């Protein structure tokens, strides 16, 4: 399949952008799949009402069919068609954070969405992305669009159009290039079907922000305990892992350098994932500065680029610094733990 690629300006009203959006929207309306930028990561969109379109998404990604997709909308009014009710907490969170990196779980109203999109669950995940290109495209189709991250299953999520191209060129009908995404980690997934909202996946909206908006928030215990089955089916899969094994190091930069030297003595090629503050300190074969430690948003924003970088090197093993688990650090540590297969070492 030839993948069409458009480069669009984020000022979506321009004449030339308009015709590109029309082409991308027409493909979506014809039940083809098209990747597009959101404020978190690139998504791979397809008509959520159509079985064939949704199956194409799973096929292009190589995604297990028991992992449901997030439905993207441009207008809150679209919800009524496929959710049974909008609980008070959900309404408050939507009012406060949509459009934005927050996905809410509702009880599903049967008969509208493809059952492949919801993986036959009785609930559905929905979000309204805060990106002019995504919103323009969603508006043009007028459809609920199912969109997982636009990477091959298991790979780090894509934060640039080139990442999508690397993974999916030839496997999808189109790619709308709107430049690098901003937040860099996926949306926070919050289950709003019970009395107290529960975080199923930490992401761009922090626990602290959610608490400020609606009071008590719980976190799915499975996030902290590997032995429990997560409520979000996708959280059980190995994900984000670079080709070389990644180890999180609990300790100082001197400890990390010590591990590096040990491995170099064994003849291995060693990578270090750090931040700009410590870039000059390490002596290793490949060093990547992922943002600035004192501005965790910058770490989130370049995290997947960093993980993909090591796949372009000959590193045999990668050591990585740890981050505080508060604020957006919660999402960063969640993704790094998965990328590391939960391998945490200390001296």
Question: Which residues carry a binding-site annotation?
Answer: 40, 63, 67, 72, 123, 127, 147, 149, 157, 187, 201, 240
160 binds, among Mg ion, ligand TXA, none (CB under 5 to 8 A by kind): none
For residue 29, give the 3-state DSSP assignment.
Answer: helix
Number of residues binding to Mg ion, judged by CB under 5 A: 1
**Out of 233, 245, 251, 327, the residue judged to bind ligand TXA by CB under 6 A:** 233
* Beta carbon nearer to ligand TXA, 89 or 257: 89
Q: Quote the least distance from Cβ 68 to ligand TXA, whole Å.
A: 3
Among 47, 78, 141, 149, binds Mg ion (CB under 5 A): 149
Residue 274 binds ligand TXA (CB under 6 A) = no
Among 93, 125, 318, 340, which residue interacts with ligand TXA (rule: CB under 6 A)? 125
Over the window 131 to 170, marking each residue x when it contacts ligand TXA by CB under 6 A and - when it does not, the resulting string is ----------------xxx---------------------
User: Most distant CA pair in the chain: distance in Å?
Assistant: 62
For Mg ion, the nearest residue by Cβ is 149
Can you read off the two tokens belonging to residue 308? 């993909």
Choose the one of Mg ion, ligand TXA, none that binds residue 69, judging by a C-beta under 5 to 8 angstroms depending on kind. ligand TXA
* Coil/strand/helix, residue 90: helix
Pairwise CA distance, residues 47 & 117, whole Å: 9
Of 57 and 244, the one with the shorter C-beta distance to ligand TXA is 57
Give the span between the Cα atoms of 282 and 8, in whole angstroms.
39
Q: Which is nearer to ligand TXA, 62 or 294 (CB)?
A: 62
The yes or no reply on residue 73 touching ligand TXA (CB under 6 A) is no
DSSP for 164-218, please give it. Answer: HHHHHTTTSSEEEE----SS-SPPEEEE-SSSS-EEEE--SS-HHHHHHHHS--E
Residue 44 CB, shortest distance to Mg ion, in Å, is 9
For 181, phi and psi rounded to 5 degrees? -80, 170
Query: Which residue is associated with the tokens 């928030």?
Result: 217
DSSP element (H, E) containing 304 = helix 296-311
Q: How far is CA 151 from CA 5, 24, 58, 64, 86, in A?
A: 16, 19, 11, 13, 31
Running DSSP on this structure, what letter comes out for residue 298?
H
Which residue number, 149 or 187, has a Cβ lying nearer to Mg ion?
A: 149
The secondary structure of 99-123 as a DSSP string is SSSEEEEEEBPTTSS-TTTTTT-SE
Stretch that binds ligand TXA, among 61-69, 215-223, 265-273, 306-314 (CB under 6 A): 61-69
Distance (Å, whole) CA 120 – CA 128: 22
Binding-site residues from annotation for ATP: 63, 67, 123, 149, 157, 201, 240
Q: Which does 233 bind (CB under 5 to 8 A by kind): Mg ion, ligand TXA, none?
A: ligand TXA
Residues 22, 172 contacting (CB under 8 angstroms)? no
Residue 273: phi and psi, rounded to 5, are: -105, 115
Q: Which of 17, 103, 153, 160 binds ligand TXA (CB under 6 A)?
A: 103
Nearer to ligand TXA, 111 or 267 (CB): 111
Quick one: 54 or 249, whose CB is closer to ligand TXA? Answer: 54
From the list Mg ion, ligand TXA, none, partner contacted by residue 155 (C-beta under 5 to 8 A by kind)? none
**Between the CA of residue 159 and those of 85, 129, 274, 335, what are the distances in Å?**
33, 14, 19, 14
The tokens for 8 are 């669009």
Residue numbers at the binding site for ligand TXA (CB under 6 A): 38, 40-41, 43, 67-70, 101, 103, 105, 121, 123-125, 129, 147-149, 186-187, 189, 200-201, 231-235
Residue numbers at the binding site for Mg ion (CB under 5 A): 149
């Amino acid at each position: 399949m030839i993948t069409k690629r458009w480069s669009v300006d984020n000022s979506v009203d321009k004449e030339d952008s308009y015709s590109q959006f029309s082409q991308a929207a027409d493909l979506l309306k014809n039940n083809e799949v098209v990747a597009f930028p959101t404020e978190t990561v690139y998504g791979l969109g397809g008509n959520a009402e159509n079985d064939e379109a949704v199956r194409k998404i799973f096929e292009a990604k190589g995604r297990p069919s028991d992992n449901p997709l997030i439905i993207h909308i441009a207008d809150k009014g679209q919800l009524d068609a496929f959710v049974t009710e909008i609980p008070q907490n959900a309404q408050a969170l939507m009012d406060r954070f949509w459009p934005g990196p927050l996905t809410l779980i509702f009880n599903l109203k049967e008969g509208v969405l493809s059952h492949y999109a919801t993986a036959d669950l009785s609930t559905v995940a929905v979000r309204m992305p805060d990106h002019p290109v995504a919103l323009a495209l969603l508006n043009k189709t007028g459809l609920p669009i199912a969109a997982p991250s636009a990477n091959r299953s298991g790979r780090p999520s894509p934060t640039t159009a080139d990442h999508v191209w690397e993974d999916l060129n030839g496997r999808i009908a189109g790619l709308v290039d709107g430049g690098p995404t901003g937040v860099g980690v996926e949306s926070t997934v919050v289950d709003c079907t019970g009395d107290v909202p529960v975080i199923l996946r930490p992401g761009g909206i922090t626990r602290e922000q959610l608490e400020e908006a609606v009071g008590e928030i719980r976190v799915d215990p499975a996030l902290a305990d590997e032995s429990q089955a997560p409520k979000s089916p996708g959280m059980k899969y190995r994900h984000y892992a670079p080709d070389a094994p990644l180890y999180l190091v609990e300790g100082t930069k001197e400890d990390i350098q010590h591990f590096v030297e040990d491995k170099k003595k064994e003849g291995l090629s060693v990578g270090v994932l750090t931040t700009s503050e410590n870039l000059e300190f390490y002596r290793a074969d490949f060093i990547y500065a992922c943002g600035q430690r004192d501005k965790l948003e910058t770490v989130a924003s370049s995290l997947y680029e960093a993980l993909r970088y090591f796949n372009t090197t000959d590193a045999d093993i990668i050591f990585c610094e740890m981050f505080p688990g508060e604020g957006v650090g919660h999402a960063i540590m969640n993704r790094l733990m998965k990328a590391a297969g939960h391998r945490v070492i200390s001296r």
